């Protein structure tokens, strides 16, 4: 079974001079079975190692162990060492020792009769199993037995027993430290070794790199967030502070635009009117503490009842307003609000005192932008302006001897006040001139246009005051007349009295102011109170700029002759 090789329990036939570190036993029969034959008795007992007395003095180191070819036991040990090397054990290098003369041998006592059991000396020279042989043939290493699994076996080489030869005793070899056994730490047939600590687990370099990247990203995010918060709160990494004027008194001079606006805005209102299928926005201003408000006729003309007119004050307070009276020829109307306290009427000026170039301020709600303030100057006076005429019969045409201003006036400014430098009303904003069109504004009169081009017109407050008083008193306004019908198709210079009036009646009203002054059909009126007129519209404007009962001086051309006539203005009921 062992192919003629000596077993690990064999006794050496002779004591060699040198020994080799034992190697693991042979692999057996391939199944892990190792028969254990009984040891053979020896004829002559060998002297025991214990019988050798210790040297009285310290022995020098022994020579290194050399294995001989004729030593069977050395061969066995060599085989054991070879198996230890196969199992991952390092070969043990025995340090060389100096040779010393062997002491005189001491005769040993006679040995007892041979005993079947091995002598203690022989047992001491060999490694003894810790357990009795397994009768169920559990192999020391290899495949498990049939009844119970056996743990892997790692045979640990024992210490080299001291060898004694004639004249060359070998001292015992101390046990060498053992490395980790690849087949486990348990050997049921050998001497157990000390348990080895588990090898520390190797950390993955990839895991360390990922952890480092996560820590770096976290720190970067914290630092970046802190920097971002600082920049957001402080406006940047560096402090930037621009020079700025210190706070000062907010008061303004009363004659400045800001002073005029602050004084007048509480008395200006915005009107929203709903009509039949349409709506509009305009402006007005408070006349008295009774709630009367003056505005343009074309602003409220579409209202069917008082429920259709809403008034909004500069403070944001709103109220319903009722229509008191209106007049198409003057393009003026009066509405009234009730139940509103704290009304501030605007003071009225005198438009006759206005001079060209005087500064003015306009307040209104262009395109429904309430409380809009613009400023300019008086560009001209006594501009004859006609507005309306959408009906086609002339009943809605208004004739205004207007104040011209370059203060921006847009749709929504209609009905708002035109103020002088003392915040007094000198006109009612009424019309604008559109590029390529006639006078009018976006709320009703004349050609529609996108906005102001610097040509705005206002009804003089002197005329507006008289009409407003009549509307508040009677709901109607009276127009001054001279009692003639004009030829509006006349294209010459001046206003020509027609040959026939409407419906074939006389062009000069019998008993009227013109008839009493001696005017005839065909006369051409060229001047009114010394001011030139170029057509019939201008004559009407000049006449309506006066009150009924005022006296006028007319210059006329009759058959090439210039004549002067004086008359007293009559009156007619307005519409």
Does residue 223 sit in helix, strand or coil? helix
CB atoms within 10 A of CB 247: 6
* CB-based burial label for 237 (10 Å; 0-12, 13-18, 19+): exposed
Percent of the chain, pLDDT > 90? Answer: 43
Q: What is the sign of the dihedral through the CA atoms of 403, 407, 409 and 413?
A: negative
Domains by residue range for the chain, with CATH: 1-189 (no CATH), 257-337 (2.40.10.10), 353-460 (2.40.10.10), 478-573 (2.30.42.10)
Q: Which of 365, 371, 305 is nearest to 335 (CA)?
A: 305
Active site (catalytic) residues: 298, 331, 414
Q: In the predicted model, is pLDDT for residue 200 greater than 80?
A: no
Q: How confident is the model at residue 259 (pLDDT cuts 50, 70, 90)?
A: very high
**Residue 420's pLDDT band (cuts 50, 70, 90):** very high
Is the pLDDT at 76 greater than 50? The verdict is no
pLDDT band at 345 (very low <50, low <70, confident <90, very high): very high
User: Which has the minimum average pLDDT: 113-127, 409-423, 550-564?
Assistant: 113-127
417-419 and 332-337 strand pairing: unpaired
Determine the pLDDT at residue 88. 42
More confident residue, 159 or 439: 159
Distance (Å, rounded) from C-alpha 122 to C-alpha 200?
42
The SS3 assignment for 348 reads strand
Residue-level pLDDT at 275: 76
Pair of tokens at residue 569? 């203005």
- 62, 98 contact by CB (below 8 A): yes
Instruction: Quote the pLDDT of residue 98.
Output: 42
Of 65-74, 320-329, 566-575, minimum mean pLDDT range = 65-74
pLDDT at site 86: 46
Residue 546 scores a pLDDT above 80: yes
**CA-to-CA dists, residue 300 to 50, 272, 443, 557, angstroms:** 143, 9, 10, 42
The confidence band for 77, taking pLDDT boundaries of 50, 70 and 90, is very low
The torsion defined by the Cα of 312, 318, 322 and 327, in degrees rounded to 10, comes to 0
* CB 269 within 8 Å of CB 416: no
The answer to whether residue 234 scores a pLDDT higher than 60 is yes
Whether 89 shows a pLDDT value over 70: the answer reads no
The pLDDT value given to residue 387: 77
| Mean pLDDT, range 290-303, rounded to an integer | 92
pLDDT average, residue stretch 309-336 = 94
Q: What is the mean pLDDT of residues 414-432?
A: 96
Tokens of 301: 């003309």
Distances from the Cα of 125 to the Cα of 19, 22, 159, 161, angstroms:
12, 11, 9, 5
**Average of per-residue pLDDT values in the chain:** 75
Among 15-29, 269-283, 291-305, 407-421, the range with the most confident prediction by mean pLDDT is 407-421
Q: 552 vs 364, 414, 547, CA distance in Å?
A: 36, 31, 11
Q: What is the dihedral of CA 97, 100, 106, 108, to 10 degrees?
A: 20
From first CA to last CA, the distance across the chain in angstroms is 148
Mean pLDDT, residues 397-415 taken together = 91
Q: What is the pLDDT of residue 556?
A: 94
Q: What is the mean pLDDT of residues 149-170?
A: 56
Residue 520 contacts residue 508 (beta carbons within 8 Å): yes
Instruction: Identify the weakest region by mean pLDDT among 60-74, 257-271, 357-371, 459-473.
Output: 60-74
What is the predicted pLDDT for the residue at 67? 42
pLDDT at 74 over 90: no
Residue 127 pLDDT greater than 90, yes or no: no
Strands (DSSP E) contained in 42-131 are: none
Model-level pTM?
0.58
pLDDT at 66: 41
93, pLDDT greater than 50 = no
Structure confidence at residue 505 (pLDDT)? 86
Q: Mean pLDDT over residues 38-52, rounded?
A: 48
Average pLDDT on 408-436 reads 91
**Which residue would you say has higher pLDDT here, 143 or 569?**
569
For residue 241, pLDDT over 90 is answered with: no
Residue 298 has pLDDT above 80, yes or no: yes
How far is it, in rounded angstroms, from Cα 222 to Cα 218? Answer: 6
- Helical ranges in 322-476 per DSSP H: 461-474
pLDDT at 534 over 50: yes
User: Measured between alpha carbons, how far is 364 from 265 in angstroms, rounded to an integer?
Assistant: 10
Reported as a pLDDT band with limits 50, 70 and 90, residue 181 is low
Q: Looking at 303-312, 342-351, 387-396, 554-563, which range is the least confident one?
A: 387-396
pLDDT tens for 114-125 read 544 444 444 445
The Cα–Cα gap between 296 and 328 comes to 9
Strands 531-532 and 417-419, by their bridges, are unpaired
Specify the 3-state DSSP secondary structure of 236. coil
Q: What is the pLDDT of residues 163-175, one digit of tens each?
A: 555 555 556 666 6
Q: Residue 48 has what pLDDT? A: 44
From CA 15, how far away is CA 438, in angstroms rounded?
A: 148
Dihedral sign, Cα of residue 380, residue 449, residue 400, residue 425? negative
Residue 572: φ, ψ to 5°: -140, 155
């Amino acid at each position: 079974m062992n192919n003629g090789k000596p077993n690990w329990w064999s006794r050496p036939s002779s004591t060699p001079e040198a020994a080799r570190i034992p190697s693991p036993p042979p692999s057996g029969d391939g199944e892990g079975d190792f028969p254990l034959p009984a040891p053979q008795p020896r004829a002559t007992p060998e002297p025991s190692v214990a019988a050798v007395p210790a040297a009285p003095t310290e022995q020098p180191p022994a020579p290194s162990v050399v294995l001989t070819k004729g030593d069977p036991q050395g061969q066995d040990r060599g085989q054991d060492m070879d198996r230890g090397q196969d199992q991952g054990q390092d070969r043990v290098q025995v340090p060389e020792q100096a040779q010393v003369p062997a002491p005189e041998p001491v005769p040993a006592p006679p040995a007892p009769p041979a005993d079947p059991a091995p002598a203690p000396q022989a047992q001491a020279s060999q490694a003894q199993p810790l357990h009795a042989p397994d009768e169920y043939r559990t192999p020391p290493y290899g495949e498990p037995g049939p009844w119970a699994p056996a743990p892997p076996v790692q045979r640990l080489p024992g210490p080299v027993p001291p060898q004694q030869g004639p004249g060359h005793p070998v001292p015992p070899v101390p046990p060498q430290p053992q490395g980790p056994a690849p087949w486990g730490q348990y050997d049921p047939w050998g001497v157990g070794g000390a348990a080895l600590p588990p090898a520390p687990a190797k950390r993955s370099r990839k895991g360390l790199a990922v952890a480092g990247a996560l820590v770096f990203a976290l720190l970067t995010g914290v630092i970046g967030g802190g920097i971002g918060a600082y920049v957001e709160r402080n406006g940047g990494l560096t402090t930037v502070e621009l020079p700025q004027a210190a706070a000062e008194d907010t008061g303004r001079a009363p004659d400045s635009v800001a002073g005029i606006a602050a004084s007048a805005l509480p008395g200006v209102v915005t009107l929203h009117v709903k009509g039949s299928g349409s709506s509009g926005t305009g402006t007005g201003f408070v006349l008295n503490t009774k709630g009367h408000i003056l505005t343009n006729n074309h602003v409220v003309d579409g209202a069917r009842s008082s429920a259709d007119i809403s008034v909004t004050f500069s403070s944001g307070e709103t109220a319903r307003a009722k229509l008191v009276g209106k007049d198409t020829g003057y393009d003026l109307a009066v509405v009234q609000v009730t139940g509103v306290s704290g009304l501030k009427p605007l003071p009225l000026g005198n438009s006759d005192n206005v001079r060209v170039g005087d500064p003015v301020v306009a307040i209104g709600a262009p395109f429904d932008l309430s409380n809009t303030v613009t400023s300019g100057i008086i560009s001209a006076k006594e501009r004859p302006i006609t507005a309306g005429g959408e009906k086609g019969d002339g009943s809605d045409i208004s004739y205004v001897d207007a104040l011209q201003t370059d203060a921006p006036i847009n749709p929504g400014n209609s009905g708002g006040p035109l103020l002088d430098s003392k915040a007094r009303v000198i006109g009612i904003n009424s019309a604008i001139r559109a590029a390529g069109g006639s006078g009018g504004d976006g709320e009703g009169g004349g050609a529609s246009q996108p906005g102001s081009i610097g040509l705005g017109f206002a009804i003089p407050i002197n005329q507006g005051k008289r009409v407003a008083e009549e509307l508040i008193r009677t709901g109607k306004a009276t127009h001054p007349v001279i009692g003639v019908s004009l030829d509006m198709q006349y294209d010459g210079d001046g206003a020509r009295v027609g040959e026939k009036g409407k419906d074939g009646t006389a062009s000069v009203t019998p008993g009227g102011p013109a008839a009493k002054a001696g005017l005839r059909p065909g006369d051409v009126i060229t001047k009114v109170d010394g001011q030139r007129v170029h057509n019939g519209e201008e004559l009407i404007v000049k006449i309506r700029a006066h009150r009924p009962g005022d006296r006028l001086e007319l210059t006329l051309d009759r058959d090439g002759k210039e004549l002067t006539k004086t008359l007293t203005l009559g009156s007619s009921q307005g519409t």
